[in-house]
């Protein structure tokens, strides 16, 4: 099976052309196998582009390295956009992917340098849309008891669930300890991604992320979008923000039409053949 290894700011994926390649029936089990860092290709997740119905150029499917399927993935969408153009799945700079979270539109800004802008749609803020067992119309700066400590959290769905909390020094924060505790908290029936955000100024955020089904990853596109929404809702930033990650940054804008736009790079690392 032919594959590409790609990453968006260090968040890495195995990407497969499902229009051409024959795939195993158990895609969750296959994702666990091929994403294994020592026994497989190694990645945070498996992305498959396959035929879609309607207006979409392709169906975007993503499986985490634990075998669970995610609704969508911001970094993965940028990688998939570059991959789709290279593979001839699309021949234009703007197109639509079908995801479990709905239709998403990437735009290729600069193919030579693999810069992609994605219309991520409007954030969903009702607790039942996250989903989360909170009351009220929005959860903004609400207390969440995690063992013996209370964290102020803001909840956002970008088609997948996010719990955002602001910390003073994100670099030294115990993400690996607190992340899984919030991910599996009883308040989140479908678990949640967790963003730990340091406010640099009113136009800049610094982020670390604990991803549902993956653990800490080097970047998360939908998480950067959720963090921006959370910062704006809390009155910390303007509507256009630079989100700093370990290996670069994403430009996130909450536009006047209510949609979130994410702009950033995607990188092709290698292409090869996986022996099934």
C-alpha to C-alpha distance for 211 and 64, rounded to whole angstroms: 9
Given CA atoms 140, 145, 149, 155 in this order, what sign does their dihedral have? negative
Does the annotation count 79 as an active-site position? no
C-alpha to C-alpha distance for 136 and 18, rounded to whole angstroms: 42
Q: Could you say which of 35, 214, 220, 225 is catalytic?
A: 220
Does the annotation count 220 as an active-site position? yes
Residue 110: strand, helix, or coil: strand
Beta strands in 33-160 (DSSP E): 45-50, 58-64, 69-70, 97-99, 102-110, 115-119, 142-146, 149-157
C-alpha to C-alpha distance for 3 and 13, rounded to whole angstroms: 10
Q: Where does residue 41 fall: left (phi above 0), alpha (psi -120 to 50 degrees), or beta otherwise?
A: alpha
Strand pairing category for 161-166 and 193-201: parallel
C-alpha to C-alpha distance for 100 and 203, rounded to whole angstroms: 31
Q: Could you say which of 73, 163, 214, 225 is catalytic?
A: 73
What are the catalytic residues? 73, 220
């Amino acid at each position: 099976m032919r594959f590409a290894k790609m990453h968006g700011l260090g968040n890495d994926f195995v990407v497969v052309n499902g229009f051409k390649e024959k795939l195993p029936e158990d895609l969750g089990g296959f994702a666990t196998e091929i994403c294994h860092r020592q026994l497989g290709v190694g990645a945070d997740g498996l992305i498959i582009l396959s035929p879609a119905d309607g207006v979409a150029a392709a169906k975007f499917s993503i499986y985490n390295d634990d075998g669970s399927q995610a609704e969508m993935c911001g970094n993965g969408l940028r990688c998939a956009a570059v991959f789709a153009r290279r593979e001839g799945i699309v021949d234009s700079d703007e197109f639509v992917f079908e995801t479990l979270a709905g239709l998403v539109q990437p735009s290729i800004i600069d193919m030579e340098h693999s810069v992609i802008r994605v219309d991520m749609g409007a954030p969903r803020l009702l607790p039942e849309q996250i989903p989360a067992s909170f009351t009220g119309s929005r959860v903004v700066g609400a207390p969440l008891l995690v063992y013996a400590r209370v964290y102020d959290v803001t909840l956002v769905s970008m088609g997948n669930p996010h719990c955002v909390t602001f910390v003073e020094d994100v670099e030294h924060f115990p993400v690996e300890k607190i992340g899984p505790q919030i991910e599996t908290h009883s308040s989140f029936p479908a678990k949640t991604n967790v963003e730990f955000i340091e406010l640099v100024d009113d136009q800049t955020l610094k982020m670390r992320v604990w991803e549902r089904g993956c653990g800490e990853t080097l970047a998360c596109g939908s998480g950067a979008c959720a963090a921006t929404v959370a910062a704006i809702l809390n009155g910390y930033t303007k509507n256009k923000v630079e989100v700093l990650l370990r290996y670069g940054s994403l430009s996130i804008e909450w536009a006047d039409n209510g949609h979130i736009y994410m702009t950033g790079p995607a990188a092709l690392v290698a292409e090869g053949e996986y022996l099934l």
